Amino acid sequence: MLADLQPRTATTSVDPPSAPPPPPRRRLRDRISRIDAKWAPYLFVAPFFVIFGIFGLFPLGYTAWVSLHEWDISGPGGFIGLNNYVTLFGDPDFWNAVLNTVGMLVLATVPQLFFALVLASLLNQKLRGLTLLRMGVLLPIVTSVAAVGIVFSQIFDRDAGMVNGLLGLFSIEPIDWRADKWSSWTAIATMVNWRWTGYNALIYLAAMQSIPRDLYEAATVDGASKIRQFFSITIPMIRPALLFTVIVSTIAGMQLFTEPLIFGQGSFAISGGSLRQFQTLSMYMFEKAFRDFDYGYGSAIAWMMFLLITLLAVVNFLITRRSR
């Protein structure tokens, strides 16, 4: 379609607006086009800002307001200042959810990014069938998210699961993966790792491919080993991509919800197991707001999550920027 336009613009440049239309009509047209030039941009960005303002920004800010109130399904009660937050800081279930979320975040992010880096450097070579290979590593992200939860819940099942079957080959007793913190975290983190490793690998691969070849050639001439080249050239050169993936996976990890919820099964799903072994912050917020209908308290949890995410993003940013 772009090509179709080329001849048209060419003819217009040959034929400049040399024959002026009658003056009155022209003035009207000028005015219209001036109004158009002035207001069209606002009209173009308006739909976004109107809808995003009502359904995105406003709720975000209003969450803070709600969190300062006693507020349940029947509507706002009294203004109670920071009381919800005071209660929250003394709430063991909240700290449990923070611990679970951060624990799974670490278990899910560190291996994910490490394996992505390895996979990317393997893919960053002259290979046959590169497109197929890339599509292969990307298969997990096109799996419907609840499907991931369902498949891995079965794979990690105590009685019927494949993981326990494989462990049995080494005479390891079957593990009840849902029962403990460490085991449920591992199972849930496995889902996240499986789903996102390939995606991150492709981001790293793109960054690696933009590194000039002669850097490596010069290093080879200087006698630097492959490993040395990886740490002294590749890693520093792909730092923006590293930063991007660390921040994105941190933000996503702090909001982990679907995988643990599906993993929970049955009636203890939203509480993340009978002892809240794997209840994340999102799940706790959801439980308070949409099971107990305590909107005020739920909003306080939402804001604490927001602060934690911001804090972690800033810390990540500073660490990644500093380490050379």
Q: Which stretch binds other proteins (CB under 8 A): 93-101, 104-112, 214-222, 290-298?
A: 290-298
Q: Name the minimum Å distance from CB 296 to other proteins.
A: 9
- Least distance (Å) from other proteins to the CB of residue 108? 16
247 in contact with other proteins (CB under 8 A): yes
Q: Binding marks (x or -) toward other proteins, 4..43, rule CB under 8 A?
A: -x--xx--xx--xx-----------x---x--xxx-xxx-
Task: Tell me if 184 contacts other proteins by CB under 8 A.
Answer: no
What is the rounded distance in angstroms from the CA atom of residue 306 to the CA atom of residue 64? 11
Residue number with CB closer to other proteins (66 or 105): 66
Min CB(139)–other proteins separation in Å: 5
Element (H, E) at 275: none
Segment holding 79, helix H or strand E? strand 75-79
Q: Which is nearer to other proteins, 75 or 223 (CB)?
A: 75
311 binds other proteins (CB under 8 A): no
Torsional sign, CA 84, 90, 96, 99: positive
HSE (side-chain half, CA atoms, 13 Å) at 121: 14
Does residue 205 belong to the site contacting other proteins (CB under 8 A)? yes
272/242 Cα distance (integer angstroms): 31
- According to DSSP, the β-strands at 75-79 and 69-72 are antiparallel
Of the pair 175, 205, the CB lying nearest other proteins is at 205
Q: Would you say 106 and 186 are in contact if contact means Cβ atoms under 8 Å apart?
A: no
Compute the distance between CA of residue 297 and CA of residue 286 in angstroms, rounded to an integer: 11
Residues 98-117, interacting with other proteins (CB under 8 A): none
Answer for the pair 67, 299: CB distance below 8 angstroms, yes or no: yes
Q: Would you count residue 147 as binding other proteins (CB under 8 A)?
A: yes
